[in-house]
Amino acid sequence: MKAIDDAQAERHKAKMTKRKAVQDAEVATKTVEKGLLIINTGPGKGKTTAAFGLALRMLGYGRRVGIVQFVKGAWHTGERAAFAAFGDKVVWHSMGEGFTWETQDLRRDVAAAEAAWAKARELMADPTIGLVVLDELNIALRYDYLDLDAVVAALKARRGGLHVVVTGRNAKPALVEAADLVTEMGATKHHFAAGVKAQQGIEF
């Protein structure tokens, strides 16, 4: 263990006492409780992973979670298998047909996005659900598969206590403006660039 003398320990204690006082005073000013619109966007990995972390946290408090995947289709993922263990506490709908460069069919992509959005609205209206994850909704909006103004209006009009997380790159400015919390995930380094393929337990 690193040697720490008494004077050093006392200086640290005094510094942390002041820091705690400042933090406690700031926390005391935060009195609003509301459902949040959260956006995870940016080129970096982890947007969906972070959303599912919030889902797990919500489940830890006994709250139900709804998940709609706008792009990812029927392929198996570890997170879906894990969430299945929670039974009806998690309502999961994978309604995409793959990325647009895979389907190459605009009509199918639009129809899939519209069906997913209808399901999302259904889950948002369910008073037993505390959190709705709209995975890759940003992609559907980026390609204009859905009406941006209508989506933003519906998200703004959601019931007061509902938390919604939207994931995907290139979040539209109107959605960012409407959000309460926006995290831009950067791509500092990615193993894909070094030729490493998508791996079980990491990417899916």
Domains of the chain listed by start with CATH number = 33-185 (3.40.50.300)
Averaged over 103-129, what is the pLDDT? Answer: 92
Give the C-alpha separation, 54 to 35, whole Å. 13
Which of 70-79, 131-140, 191-200 is least confident?
70-79
Residue type, 157: A
Averaged over 190-195, what is the pLDDT? Answer: 90
Give the C-alpha separation, 127 to 153, whole Å. 19
Q: Is the confidence at residue 40, as pLDDT, over 80?
A: yes
pLDDT for position 192: 84
CB 100: neighbour CB atoms within 10 A? 18
Give the number of residues written for the chain.
Answer: 204
Averaged over 47-51, what is the pLDDT? Answer: 97
pLDDT band at 42 (very low <50, low <70, confident <90, very high): very high
Residue type, 89: K
Q: Let me know: does 125 contact 157? Beta carbons within 8 Å.
A: no
Which of 6-15, 41-50, 148-157 is least confident?
6-15
Q: What percent of the chain has pLDDT over 70?
A: 95
Averaged over 50-76, what is the pLDDT? Answer: 92
Q: Is the confidence at residue 17, as pLDDT, over 70?
A: yes
Enter the pTM of the model: 0.90
* Pairing mode of beta strands 129-135, 90-94: unpaired
Averaged over 115-133, what is the pLDDT? Answer: 98
pLDDT for position 101: 54
Q: Is the confidence at residue 16, as pLDDT, over 60?
A: yes
Calculated CA dihedral for residues 156, 31, 183, 177, nearest 10 degrees: 40
pLDDT for position 103: 61
Cα 123 to its chain centre, rounded Å, is 16
Give the C-alpha separation, 192 to 198, whole Å. 8
Instruction: Round the average pLDDT of the chain to a whole number and report it.
Output: 92
